[in-house]
């Protein structure tokens, strides 16, 4: 999602890749895989021009709105009411001890 939004904002794969600190070919592959998984074309690519398709514009709008809602929801949700699961260990540098300690505070 963030890769898509970066390209949609920049309308330039190299600039978006630099912003994301990843390689341009890697970013292009990720966007192509996203398009294949969704079964739609999100960007029109012509020579050096990149534009959003109608589907891409719609997705950009919806993702932007929903990510803002999620950010607001996380901001106003008291941290003590969030129960962490061990699966987070796979994606973040969080120790099991931290999760046990955090979860012991949640009713």
List all residues 6 or more positions away from 88 whose beta carbon is below 8 Å from its beta carbon.
Answer: 94, 99
Spans of all domains in the chain: 2-76, 78-107
Read off the pTM.
0.66
pLDDT digit of tens for each residue in the chain (107 aa)?
A: 899 999 999 999 999 999 999 999 999 999 999 999 999 999 999 988 999 999 999 999 999 988 887 766 655 555 555 555 555 445 444 445 544 554 455 45
The CATH classification number of 2-76 equals 1.10.10.10
To 10 degrees, what angle do helices 2-10 and 54-76 make?
Answer: 120
């Amino acid at each position: 999602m963030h890769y898509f939004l970066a390209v949609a904002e920049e309308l330039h794969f190299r600039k978006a890749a630099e912003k994301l600190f990843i390689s341009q070919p890697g970013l292009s592959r990720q966007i192509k895989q996203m398009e294949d998984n969704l079964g739609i074309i999100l960007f029109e690519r012509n020579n050096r021009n990149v534009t959003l398709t109608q589907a891409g514009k719609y997705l950009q709008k919806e993702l932007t709105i929903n990510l803002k809602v999620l950010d607001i929801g996380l901001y106003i949700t008291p941290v003590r009411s969030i129960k962490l699961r061990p699966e987070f260990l796979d994606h973040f540098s969080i120790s099991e001890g931290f999760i046990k300690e955090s979860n012991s505070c949640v009713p």
